[in-house]
Amino acid sequence: MHELDGWTLLAILGMTAISVITRGFFFISEREWTLPEWAQRGLQYAPIAALTAVIAPDILLTEGVVGAVLRDARTWGALAAAGFYFWRRRGSYVMPAAIAVGMAVFLPLRVGLGW
Amino acid sequence: MIMPLPPDPGELPARGRLGAWLARRVDTWARTARHPLFWVGAREMAGVSIGLTAWAFMTGVAMVKSGMSITESVLMSLLVFAGSAQLAAIPLIAADAPLWVVLAAAFCVNLRFVVFSLHLRPYFMHLPRFKRLYLGYFTGDVTYVLFTRRFPRPPETEGQRRAQGSYLWGGNVTNWVFWQSLSMLGIFLGAALPSRWGLEFAGTLALLAVACSMVTTRLRALSAITAAAAAVVLFGLPYRLNIVAAIAVAVAISLYAEPRPPAAGDDAGARDA
């Protein structure tokens, strides 16, 4: 419950440094400078790619292989959350609501049916 | 009204110097907090925070449910203070991925802040370097959006600098207090709930919602789908290298698919990344 693993601590400290560096990236140097042009364009695509690269295996894979996707609570939860998001994307608090809708689909399937 | 400090007492012993430094810090803080715009910033942020609380709560639950101890989760929340980067790193830490893969994923998820910092640079450059980085660290997504919406232009006079700084700190303090308290609640409540429910899935859904909110252009949708497919196909790579490889493939394909020659409006597109 309360143990502190040295490796995890290192990861936490490294991520803290990442928070400081990324949020202050252009404050570090006094000199005027900008990223090369291709890197600036690439910045548009990297964050969303990082997110979907992390979540896609978490949703689709079971122990490293594509399992019975249609009999999986995660598939339906994710579809419900994304569907709700795009249906109500102009509304307020749509992000927490989408998570709640996804969990409302996921939990009965997982706890009730064991999917 | 601003209370004057007592006159400079001249040479002081070490303890006196520490006391004088502390008194100056407290005085600076009190001046910021007494500025009317501090409370305007705090109020506007509080309105948005209601939505963020659910988010913070889920980050807390996801951390503790992925197998991190309560101590580790609390430390991570207090130090890293970046919800999506934490959510992205949690499964990687749980899978014992190498440190550089965890950091690379956190860096990529945080890349939007690099764009924000380019935008904020003219607002912050009058501060010394340490203060710039300190203020930047505490400025999250929502405070950045509210701040640049209220102040479309960087400050020119001392009065404007104080006004902008106070507004930003009002939002930042509110954001930090809401975020950390709900994150702690998630950690401690999450630890008490059964693992069988798979509550860490809320963290995945939270990232999915952020990803959906970033689909503002066709090319970004292409980047999202390519990265998802590549990450699944390359899952067999060791050390969770599939994440890094998928990001590289998706960015390269999106850059390649861009219409060219690049239009003049490109810069504006990068701004709201």
Split chain B (273 residues) into runs of 10 and give each run's mean pLDDT. 67 82 90 91 80 79 88 94 87 88 88 83 91 92 82 90 94 93 92 79 83 87 94 82 87 88 49 42
> Residue A40: which of B117, B136, B270 has the nearest Cβ?
B270
> What is the ipTM score, two decimals?
0.84
Nearest CA-CA partner of B32 in B236, B212, B171, B209: B171
Most confident of A67-71, A90-94, B167-171: B167-171
Query: From residue A112, how far is each of A67, A69, B66, B191 by CA, in Å?
Result: 19, 17, 22, 22
The pLDDT value given to residue B267: 47
The pLDDT value given to residue B273: 41
d(CA B159, CA B106): 37
Q: Is B198 left (phi over 0), alpha (psi -120 to 50) or beta?
A: left
Could you give the maximum distance between any two Cα atoms of chain A, in Å?
Answer: 60
**Partners of A62 in the β-ladder:** A65
d(CA B102, CA B85): 9
| Residue in A55, A90, A105 to test binding to B, most B beta-carbons within 10 Å | A55
> Residue B247: which of A27, A50, A106 has the nearest Cβ?
A50
- Alpha helices, DSSP H only, in B66-200? 70-80, 83-94, 99-109, 111-124, 129-138, 141-150, 158-192
The pLDDT value given to residue B272: 43
The model's pTM is 0.75
Q: Do A56 and B231 touch (CB under 8 A)?
A: yes
